[in-house]
Structure formats: C-alpha cells, structure tokens
Structure 1
Amino acid sequence: MHIQQELDEELNNLFDTIRKKSSIRPPIEIEKNLTLIDDFALKCSKFRGCLVDYIQENDNRLSLRLRNRLRAVDIMQKEIVSCLECFLSGDIKSAYDSFESMLEPRTISRHIENICIPLSDLCNEDKPLFRVRKSDTPLTSRRDMFHIPFSQRHFVRA
C-alpha cells in the first residue's frame, strides 16, 4: 500500500505542476487566430511537454510509468481530435460514441477526476454560464438566440 501512496503523491505533484500552466488550466479559452482543433493540438503539446519535463527531472515510479504511456497520450489526442471533427461536422452520436470508447480503459478512467474541475467552480448563481450566438441582425426569437449552427460550433466557448 505504501507504493500506491507514493504514486498518488507523485501524481498529485505532477497535476499541481500542470494546473499552474495558465494556457492549459480551466477554463480554457481558444487562442485567437486558431481553430478549435489547432488550439487543442497546441495545448496538448504543452501538456505533453509537462509530462516530458517531469520524466526528465524525476527518477521515480511515476516517471517510468509516464515514459511508458506517452504513446497512449498521443493516441488519446488523436482520438479527441477525431471526436471534435465528428462533433463539429454535425455527427454528434459518433463523436460521443468514440469519446466514450476512448475513456473506457481503466488507466484513463481511474484518474479522470484529477484533470477535471467541478462545474460549480466555473459557474454558479453569482457567475452564470450561458451559451448564445452572436448575430449581425437583431435576434427576435429564443431559437435565434440559442441555436448554434453546426458549422459554427467552434465559436462557442461554453
């Protein structure tokens, strides 16, 4: 059990380091002049850089495990890009199905809570979160205000 506690502590330290990177700390915003997918790829590269830095700077069980899982990180990035492409093209079911299958392996689902933050940290009664679209003409109906065409989903930041 002592080994597992050490690994958990090392993992928490790694996640603390990653959370300190402002460009990959939630809420994440798309950088100007980048598409959603290009921005995601850039942030993945920064995340992967954090992992590589940790591996190079530490000689412990976690760094060994990370070294063995870098390929899995690359595969996850590729699968998420595929999900985004499906979603943005309007094939939402395929996007959700592929995302769900990507998260099934125990190595991923076991630590997913470490990279998530509660939605209440992003929005609550004092700080509501809305998803609306911008228009060049007056919006006269509720549908006009809240309907986001699939071709413009990448503009939505919620």
Structure 2
Amino acid sequence: MNDIYTVVDKLLESDLAKQPLLAPNTSSYRDDLELKLNNFITIVKTLSPQGGIIEKTLYEASSELENITKKILSALDEYLSGNAGEAYRHIADLLEMEIITRHIFKLCSSMDKYSGKNDSNSLYRVRLSEKPLFKKHDMFHIPFNSRHLVGTQRYSIAGVPCLYLGSSLYVCWHEMGSPDLNKLYLSRFGCRKKNVQYLNLAYSLKMMKPEGLDTFIDNTSEIERDLARIIFLPILIACSYKKAHSPANFNEEYIIPNLLLQWVSKKSPDISGISYLSTNTPQMKHHDININFVFPPKTYTSRKSFYCQTLSDIFELSDPVSWQLLDTVSIENKYNNIDTLISINNMHEDYIKYYHTTKFKDQENKLKKMVVKKVHN
C-alpha cells in the first residue's frame, strides 16, 4: 500500500514544508538546518513499524537517516573550518551509503522528454548582454579559458564552468535577477542523445502531498520513488535555502549543493546533472516552469578545446536571438482570447497558473520554431 499520504502529512505538520527555506534573523543557516534535520529524525522515529510500506521502511531506517543528517552537518562544519577536502569526503561517504545507493536511481529521470523537437518540452538559457550575440557558443557554458568569469551559484564548483538551463524563460529571467527584458538574448536547448540521466531534486513536501486520485496510486514504481524522495529529504532540505545575504561573495547556504554537484561531476558517470526548484519563484505542484538544471563538464579533451565535449554531444541549441527582435515576430496564440483575471494578492502564483497566456510563453512558442544544432569545439 502506498501510505505516502500518512507520512507526508506528518512531515507537513513540522517546519519542513515552507520550501524554499530561509533561516530566521535570529539564527544562522547552520543552526537552522540542524534544527530542521533533528525535527525530521524525530518525526521518522514516531512512525509506526506496523504502518504501510513507506512508513515501516522509514521507521526501520531511522538510524541510517540519522547518520545522513550527521554527515551533512559534519561536512558543513568541516567546510566552515577551512577543510574543504574533508567536507567533500563526508558528502562522498554519505552518497556511498547503502541506503543512498539503493535509492538514488529511483530519483533519476531521463532527458528524453527534452528532445528539442518542435512539439517536445524544451529547456532555455538566457544571457544579459549589451553587445549583440550571434553564435551558439555565446549561449553555451562559459569557455574553459574564461574560468575567471565563473560566479558563485547555488549549484556550482569553484572555477568550473557548468551549463545552466531552465524549464522556462520565466525561471531563467528570475534566476538572472529579473533584468530588463530588452537586454536579454535567448536560446532553446534540446537533448540529442537517448537515456541521459539527471538527479531529479525538483520536488518539495507540498508537491508530494497526494490529491484526489493521486491518493489511490499503488504501483511499485510510485511507492519506490516516493520512498526515495523521503530518504533524500535531508539532502534536499540542506540544498533548499535562500541565501540570507545578497549580494555576497560567500553564501554558506550553497556549501552542500556545491559539494553534491562535485560528486555528480567526478564520481557519478551515470548521472549527467541535477534538476532543482528555483528559490526565486513560487513552487506549485502541477506546474513545471520553475525548474533549473545544472550540468557540470565531464571531459576536458585538450587545451585547445574550450567546451566540454560530453555536453556538446548531449545538447543542441538554437542561435541566440534578442528578446526585442523576437518580440517583433507574430505567431498565432490560441490563448489570446481567454479572459484571465489575475488577483493582485497572488500575482506570482496566478502568473504561473496562467503562464500559457503570458509573453514569456509566447516567446517560447516562437523559439520552438527555430532550428537547434550542436555546438562544435
């Protein structure tokens, strides 16, 4: 029996539900994280060994889950003490625990749905530029010979150019800090290879709560995926904090996601990237426009190669086009005649709800008319 409703309901009674998370002014990220992780373990220990499959499994794994939380906090403490290598070792040890290796691929998804075809889902990349951009290279990851331009991201590796994509132009725009639209250049990305896997951390407890017919889903794959999501919840919590200080040269909220990405980059050849929810947009269960993707480079073939050969083999993209120029193109929009009422009090959530009527969606539809091709080194 899929008893995910029972488990999620108990977890939602705690302070774990409000994702993205933000430490209160009276506390640090580290202390608030410890409080939330301890809260999670306390709830797990109250689950019943006579419950459904998920409840029983979590109860029996409480000591392993507690070990996961301790390793996360140890990694954080080592990093903050100046021992970055030891911090990474704690995360690597965590990800090699039997309970993690047994469930991690239940959380992996295939990039097949992002095939780059006109009628498929697409991924997007946005760049802010005062000068015209014409080449596909301009929209790929920062070249290896320009590592000095690599900034601090929630999921990043110091000095390592990664490829960041979004499930919508809207989330890309928010991740850029909501700049002037007329200074943006846009590209659409598609996956050109089969069975490219990514670790799917684009979920929250609220999104997991069953509704309607979801309550009756009882197949094995759904139960295994739901169980894996709860087992990974301590890691997800540690990676889901908004930064307390902006702008800042260092954000302790980024330590654990940075270490996780390092592991994906070097220790997990079967996982190409990570998807995660934006901390800058509302997170709604039945909408997937607020998802970010990060793909670290996997190969450095030569000094003359400025781009990761593995990533250039995986992705194809359209030529960059300015928002202004694309805005002059007109295509039929079947939603134009919809009378949409957006309440001021819930502007951001309603914007996502009626996203199909927005200018962002209109621009995405135009980008889908553009040809995508791979980047050549």
What amino acid is aligned across from residue 36 of structure 2 in structure 1?
K
Aligned-residue offset at 1:84: 0.4
The residue that corresponds to 2:249 in the other structure is 147
Q: Distance in 2 between matches of 1:91 and 1:129?
A: 31
Moved more, 75-84 or 43-52: 43-52
- Given that residues 18 and 47 in structure 1 are in contact (C-alpha distance below 8 angstroms), is that contact kept between their aligned partners in structure 2? no
What amino acid is aligned across from residue 35 of structure 2 in structure 1?
L
| Number of aligned positions between the proteins | 130
Change (3 A) 1:61 1:36: same
Counterpart among 107, 110, 113 of residue 113 in structure 1: 107
Aligned-residue offset at 1:132: 9.6
Residue 62 in structure 1 maps to residue 54 in structure 2: yes
The residue that corresponds to 1:125 in the other structure is 172
Q: Distance in 2 between matches of 1:15 and 1:129?
A: 36
Change (3 A) 1:22 1:32: farther
- Report % sequence identity: 16
Aligned-residue offset at 1:82: 0.5
What amino acid is aligned across from residue 86 of structure 1 in structure 2?
E
Counterpart among 17, 35, 48 of residue 9 in structure 2: 17
Q: Deviations over 1:51-70 (max 9, x none)?
A: 234327x6233333222211
Work out which structure has the larger RCO, using CA pairs closer than 8 Å and 6 or more positions apart in sequence. 2
The residue that corresponds to 2:85 in the other structure is 93
Structure with higher Rg: it is 2
Aligned-residue offset at 1:100: 1.5
What amino acid is aligned across from residue 62 of structure 2 in structure 1?
L
Counterpart among 74, 84, 87 of residue 82 in structure 1: 74
- Given that residues 86 and 92 in structure 1 are in contact (C-alpha distance below 8 angstroms), is that contact kept between their aligned partners in structure 2? yes
Change (3 A) 1:132 1:64: closer
What amino acid is aligned across from residue 96 of structure 1 in structure 2?
Y
Change (3 A) 1:147 1:132: farther
**Structure 1 unaligned regions, length at least 5:** 1-5, 135-144
Q: Distance in 2 between matches of 1:40 and 1:105?
A: 21
- Given that residues 16 and 36 in structure 2 are in contact (C-alpha distance below 8 angstroms), is that contact kept between their aligned partners in structure 1? yes
Aligned-residue offset at 1:105: 2.2
Aligned-residue offset at 1:129: 5.9
Change (3 A) 1:84 1:18: farther
The residue that corresponds to 1:28 in the other structure is 21
Change (3 A) 1:129 1:47: farther
The residue that corresponds to 2:152 in the other structure is none
Q: Distance in 1 between matches of 2:35 and 2:244?
A: 26
- Given that residues 15 and 36 in structure 2 are in contact (C-alpha distance below 8 angstroms), is that contact kept between their aligned partners in structure 1? yes
Q: Distance in 2 between matches of 1:146 and 1:155?
A: 11
Aligned-residue offset at 1:17: 3.1
What amino acid is aligned across from residue 147 of structure 1 in structure 2?
N
Counterpart among 39, 43, 57 of residue 50 in structure 1: 43
Aligned-residue offset at 1:80: 1.0
- Given that residues 18 and 24 in structure 1 are in contact (C-alpha distance below 8 angstroms), is that contact kept between their aligned partners in structure 2? no
Change (3 A) 1:146 1:30: closer
Secondary structure of the residue aligned to 2:173 is: coil
Q: Distance in 1 between matches of 2:53 and 2:76?
A: 33
Q: Quick check: which one's helix share is greater?
A: 1
Q: Distance in 1 between matches of 2:92 and 2:30?
A: 19
The residue that corresponds to 1:139 in the other structure is none
Aligned-residue offset at 1:15: 6.1
Change (3 A) 1:41 1:59: same
Aligned-residue offset at 1:89: 2.1
Change (3 A) 1:50 1:100: same
Secondary structure of the residue aligned to 1:126 is: helix
**Alignment TM-score, normalising by the size of structure 1:** 0.60
Change (3 A) 1:60 1:19: closer
CA RMSD of aligned residues (A): 3.7
Q: Quick check: which one's strand share is greater?
A: 2
The residue that corresponds to 1:38 in the other structure is 31
Q: Distance in 1 between matches of 2:253 and 2:61?
A: 32
